[in-house]
């Protein structure tokens, strides 16, 4: 089992829940050492006095804050320690906010929060379920490794997740940083209709396992090929930018291709349903015949995208719908419809 990188307590009101903080992610980037080209000599980074060229010991290094015009204010390590945040062991909750209101630009890094000891699992589980039911995130601050963090504690599937957040003054204004932004958004037009259709036709559930780091795989293959003396294959050039004059045609071809892919997938699901769900006289598992007879035509939840499922979930007033996956939404809707039929 991994060791907690921080231990403390979540505090809100008069409640205190001891927790441990664990890394939720890991880096699989391939790391390289530096060598001088044509030799086997490693390159080492050293702290060197730029005037004398001599190596300086770490203990003899102080920090200087740049105040402009080449001048610096020199600060000693013990002076920084004197004003650093204390070794606080409390994640103090300040507010509970709607999780959907937090712009993802504020998210910094994800951690798991676990109960510190079996005796604390009850209050921990209570907070987890309360956040899930209210669809809220707990916003608070805590100190770790000499730095104060803003954090959002949110409910994940079986654990409390904690996102460290950027403070508001750390977020750059896109209007000042990004050139060539459009002055107004298109409100109508054939291109907008086709772009919307393309997005809808390519929509589906979030399945993170469907995605992988293809670049790192190519780097690993490059290393293996060079080690084995094989020929190195160069990747294709990136696609050229689509001009506005050809945008509509490109969108139409993209929509047609996406619809063809979706139709093929739908046919595959239908064939599978015919083989596994049909019984005698052509009846399916839910009692509807091939001709569509039965209590009534059910909505095709298998082919609905998440936006459509969220609308149905809102109609049935299903709690916690905003944090559900596509599959969970479909299951909850089926349960709500089944309960409604039984009640009637």
pLDDT at residue 275, rounded to an integer: 41
Q: How far from 11 is each of 84, 127, 142, 154, CA to CA, in Å?
A: 22, 11, 11, 15
Could you please report the per-residue DSSP string of 155-166?
E-SSSEEEEEE-
pTM, entire model = 0.60
Mean pLDDT by 10 residues, the chain (344 residues): 88 91 90 92 92 92 92 89 76 93 95 93 94 94 89 94 96 92 84 85 83 80 83 66 77 79 52 40 38 44 75 79 74 81 66
pLDDT at residue 283, rounded to an integer: 38
Please identify, in words, the CATH class of the domain defined by 6-27+84-170. mainly beta
**Which parts of the chain fold into alpha helices (H)?**
77-83, 121-134, 174-177, 190-201, 214-228, 247-277, 306-315, 326-343
Domain ranges of the chain: 6-27+84-170, 187-234+247-297, 299-344
What single-letter DSSP state applies at residue 249? H
pLDDT at residue 316, rounded to an integer: 82
How many Å apart are CA 137 and CA 106, to the nearest integer?
14
Query: What is the rounded end-to-end Cα distance, in angstroms, of the chain?
Result: 51
pLDDT at residue 206, rounded to an integer: 80
pLDDT at residue 273, rounded to an integer: 39
Q: How far from 288 is each of 240, 257, 277, 332, CA to CA, in Å?
A: 50, 32, 10, 21
């Amino acid at each position: 089992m991994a060791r907690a990188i921080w231990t403390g307590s979540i505090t809100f009101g008069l409640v205190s829940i001891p927790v441990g903080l664990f890394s939720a992610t890991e880096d699989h980037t391939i790391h390289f050492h530096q060598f001088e080209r044509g030799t086997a000599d490693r390159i080492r980074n050293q702290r060197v006095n730029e005037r004398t060229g001599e190596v300086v010991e770490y203990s003899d290094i102080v920090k200087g804050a740049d105040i402009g015009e080449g001048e610096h204010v020199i600060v000693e390590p013990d002076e920084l320690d004197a004003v650093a945040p204390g070794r606080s062991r409390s994640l103090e909750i300040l507010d509970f906010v709607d999780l959907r209101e937090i712009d993802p630009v504020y998210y910094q890094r994800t951690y798991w929060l676990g109960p510190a000891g079996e005796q604390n699992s009850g209050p921990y589980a209570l907070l987890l379920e309360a956040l899930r039911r209210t669809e809220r995130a707990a916003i608070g601050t805590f100190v770790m490794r000499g730095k104060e963090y803003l954090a959002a504690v949110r409910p994940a599937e079986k654990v409390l997740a904690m996102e460290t957040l950027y403070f508001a003054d750390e977020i750059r204004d896109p209007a000042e940083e990004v050139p060539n932004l459009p002055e107004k958004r298109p409100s109508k037009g054939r291109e907008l209709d086709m772009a919307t259709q393309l997005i809808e036709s390519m929509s589906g559930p979030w399945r993170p396992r469907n995605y992988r780091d293809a670049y790192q795989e190519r780097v690993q293959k490059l290393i293996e090929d060079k080690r084995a003396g094989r020929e190195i294959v160069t990747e294709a050039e990136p696609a050229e930018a689509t001009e506005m004059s050809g945008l509509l045609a490109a969108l139409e071809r993209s929509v047609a291709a996406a619809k063809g892919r979706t139709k093929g997938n739908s046919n595959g699901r239908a064939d599978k349903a015919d083989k596994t769900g049909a019984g005698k006289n052509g009846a399916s598992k839910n009692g509807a015949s091939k001709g569509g007879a039965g209590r009534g035509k059910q909505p095709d939840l298998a082919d609905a995208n998440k936006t459509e499922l969220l609308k149905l979930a809102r109609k049935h007033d299903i709690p916690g719908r905003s944090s559900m996956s596509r599959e969970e939404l479909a299951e909850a809707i089926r349960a709500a419809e089944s309960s409604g039929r039984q009640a009637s």
